[in-house]
Amino acid sequence: MGRLTTHVLDLMQGKPAQELKIHCFRVNSDQSLTLLRQVFTNHDGRIDSPLLTHEELIPGIYELHFYVGDYFRLQGIHSPQPSFLDIVPLRFGIQNPHEHYHVPLLVAPGGYSTYRGS
């Protein structure tokens, strides 16, 4: 059964990023975005259920927007304004809706990394 999942790790503090807002979008043919979900990470930096499941997961282009600026401000980590990172957008493609697509984010105030997880 195909699904889209994510998690976020705070590399600066060495812990899961709890209560980080994420928006999940489908990218339309005209490059506009359709909001599919808004979620917050749990105590483990994960979301409680998949962002998309097999009936919602169709081949195409998607974006996840991670609101890392808000997260770090709530953690009491202040940076000069504007913050270097505010919203981190990750654009990726779904080819096979029967597969599991896991898109993690490793983040610190000065940078981030991602990969296709399992």
Which residues have C-beta within 8 Å of that of residue 57, sequence separation ≥ 6? 2, 3, 4, 94, 97, 101
Q: Confirm or deny that 112 is annotated as ligand binding.
A: no
Three-state DSSP class for residue 69:
helix
46 is annotated as contributing to ligand binding: yes
Q: Is 26 within any annotated ligand binding site?
A: no
Separation of CA 14 from chain center: 18
Detail the residues annotated as belonging to a binding site for substrate: 7, 46, 115
Detail the residues annotated as belonging to a binding site: 7, 46, 115
